[in-house]
Amino acid sequence: MFRTDRATGELNLGASKSDTAANVARNRRLFLTELDTARMKLATLRQIHSGVVREVSAAQKEPLRGDGLITQHAGLLLGIQTADCVPILLIDPDNRTVAAFHAGWRGTVKRIVERGVGLMRMRYGSRPEELLAAIGPCIGACCYSVGEEVVSEFHSQFCYSAELFREVYDLDPVKQKYPMLFLTARAPGHSNLGPQTHLDLVEANRRQLLDAGLKKRNIWSSGECTACNPEKYFSHRGEHGFTGRMMAVVGIR
């Protein structure tokens, strides 16, 4: 269950190189028992940073590829695995429909959550103004520096993209005083010294939910940054890739 060699594997819920399949299976059982959902079947995905949303009625033996799940079936628990990316859960209480999405920057550019709401409308008659959304802990705008390719992808897709980025200067006093010491530490174009561009993935997904017709008051966000809270959350960035996965789940009993 727990790794002791690095402080990164505690209650890891996702298959990754940093843990064994047996550990993950045992951790998932503990997790579901703790949530009092041990009798429900867990449906997860082989997440591929896509815009693919799957409608499911049963847990698959081999997880489907994709980054969104929708179901109306009671007893099925939809699980999204993250360690910095944004987990988003949707509930349609009127229609008893639930959905879960994995949105990193790629899935966000592909509008996975906007597409998901569209699918709920089309296939299940969901009314967006009735939907409740929860955005889980993910890497915050405080920590999520991105490269130019990410900025240009967002600019090409969203008219409000400028509102999703901010310039952040490195406030490390040592680096400011002795910039020459750090000039060679990084590849060209990736200097720590100039302003870094930070992306607000929560806001990006909140905008998509609003555009899809959700009410502002029906969108809840944890507001916590995974990279700022490594003692509490797994963070791919914060732990340099060697980390576990958290899981966000939603289902109908």
Residues contacting 171, CB < 8 A, separation 6+: none
Of the pair 49, 237, the CB lying nearest Zn ion is at 237
Give the residue at shortest CB distance from Zn ion: 225
225 DSSP assignment? B
Q: In the bound complex, what is the minimum distance in angstroms from residue 247's beta carbon to Zn ion?
A: 21
**Angle at CA of residue 7, ends 4 and 10, nearest 5°:** 80
Q: In the bound complex, what is the minimum distance in angstroms from residue 93's beta carbon to Zn ion?
A: 32
Q: In the bound complex, what is the minimum distance in angstroms from residue 200's beta carbon to Zn ion?
A: 11
Of the pair 92, 239, the CB lying nearest Zn ion is at 239
Q: In the bound complex, what is the minimum distance in angstroms from residue 94's beta carbon to Zn ion?
A: 36
Q: In the bound complex, what is the minimum distance in angstroms from residue 157's beta carbon to Zn ion?
A: 24
Of the pair 72, 222, the CB lying nearest Zn ion is at 222
Of the pair 120, 141, the CB lying nearest Zn ion is at 141
Whole-angstrom distance, CA of residue 89 vs CA of residue 124: 16
Whole-angstrom distance, CA of residue 168 vs CA of residue 175: 14
Contact footprint for Zn ion (CB under 5 A): 140, 142-143, 225, 227-228
- How many CA atoms within 13 Å lie on the side-chain side of 199? 27
- Per DSSP (E only), the strands in 13-160 are 41-43, 45-46, 53-55, 64-65, 68-71, 76-82, 86-92, 97-103, 132-135, 145-146
Collapsing DSSP to helix, strand or coil, 162 comes out as: helix
Residues contacting 223, CB < 8 A, separation 6+: 202
Q: In the bound complex, what is the minimum distance in angstroms from residue 227's beta carbon to Zn ion?
A: 5
Of the pair 44, 235, the CB lying nearest Zn ion is at 235
Nearest residue to 215 (alpha-carbon basis) of 88, 130, 117:
130
Of the pair 126, 235, the CB lying nearest Zn ion is at 235
